[in-house]
Structure 1
Amino acid sequence: MLNRVVLVGRLTRDPELKYTPNGIAVASITLAVNRPFSNQQGNREADFINVVIWRKQAENVANYLRKGSLAGVDGRLQTRNYENNEGKKVFITEVVADSVQFLETKGSNNSGGNQGGGDYYGSPNQGGNNNNQNQGRSNQSFSDDPFASDGKPIDISDDDLPF
């Protein structure tokens, strides 16, 4: 059997951190994950997926991610149910995260989510909030690159290759 979910998206709200009676941290987030196609009007739609994170990873998510943060989640799909106040059975489907990856440096997002409708890879031709991933880095010229081609062949022996 296989139950594996991999998601990349932006948080729709700040993480909600709680603790069980035994003191175990549990955080819940909702990820907006863009669909890979456009609808008939040419707009990109998103799915809003609930994610549950446990223990130390939950505390890290609560401390370092905010609404609009780009995150990657690897986990499994889980369905549970309960009876609400009206006596009706309510079913919930959510992703239980095995790991959460922070895909942006602190302060690189605009805390407003992906408002422009661009895809989560930030491709400039899709519109949206195309964050410059090179902000804060020094501008290196190509002459600093030891692998830049200056028109001469690179001499590498087979002994120098790791494979």
Structure 2
Amino acid sequence: MNKILLVGRLVKDPEQRIIEDSQKALIKIIIAVNRDYKEPDGERKADFIPVSFWGKKGEIILKHLHKGDLISVGGRLRMGSYVDKDGNKKYISDVVAEDFKFVRNQFKVETKVQ
């Protein structure tokens, strides 16, 4: 089973890419996910994880999320490789999103209801 769950903040605004072969839109984000421990100096480090969204999910992400927003993402880890322009093989990994939740929007709704 290949499942991953992340909660983190967007490092920058979402980016849209059009895949030439299919003309489908791919929305990419990078989220900073805090590690659950502190370094000896007291600093808490983060991992910067690329996440891909397709279709309607991607449209929603592009329209509503911005740098600094908090999001919860569920998906699968994708590993791949390609050959760069210099002929070197490069390895890549990202998360393909299957579901998500705007954490900040949920908080705003809850505070309005009370």
Q: Deviations along 1:27-71, whole A, 9 cap, x unmatched?
A: 000010001111000111100001111111011101000000100
Please give the alpha-carbon distance, in whole angstroms, between the structure 2 residues aligned to 1:97 and 1:105: 19
Matches within 5 A, 1:1-163: 2-21=1-20, 22-105=22-105, 134=111, 137=112
Shift in Å at residue 92 of structure 1?
A: 0.2
Q: More strand per residue: 1 or 2?
A: 2
Structure 2: tracts of 5 or more residues without a match: none
Partners of 1:79 and 1:8 in 2: how far apart?
20
Structure 1 contact 15–61 (Cα < 8 Å) conserved: yes
Higher relative contact order (CA 8 A, sep 6+): 2
How far apart, in 1, do the equivalents of 2:87 and 2:17 lie? 26
CA distance in 1, matches of 2:89, 2:11: 27
Q: Which runs of 4+ in 1 moved over 3 A?
A: none
Instruction: Tell me by how many angstroms 1:94 deviates.
Output: 0.7
* Largest Rg, 1 or 2: 1
> In the alignment, residue 46 of structure 1 is paired with which amino acid?
A
Q: C-alpha distance in 2, partners of 1:55/1:80?
A: 21
Asked if the contact 1:78–1:93 (Cα under 8 Å) also holds between the matched residues in 2, the reply is yes
Q: Given that residues 17 and 59 in structure 1 are in contact (C-alpha distance below 8 angstroms), is that contact kept between their aligned partners in structure 2?
A: no
Which structure has more helix as a fraction of its residues?
2
Shift of the alpha carbon at 1:17?
Answer: 1.1
**Which structure 1 segments of 5+ residues have no match?**
109-132, 141-163
1:61-108: CA deviation from partner (whole Å, max 9, x where unpaired):
0100000010011000011111001110010011111112111129x7
Q: Which residue of 2 aligns with 1:150?
A: none
The TM-score normalised by the length of structure 2 is 0.89
TM-score by structure 1 length? 0.63
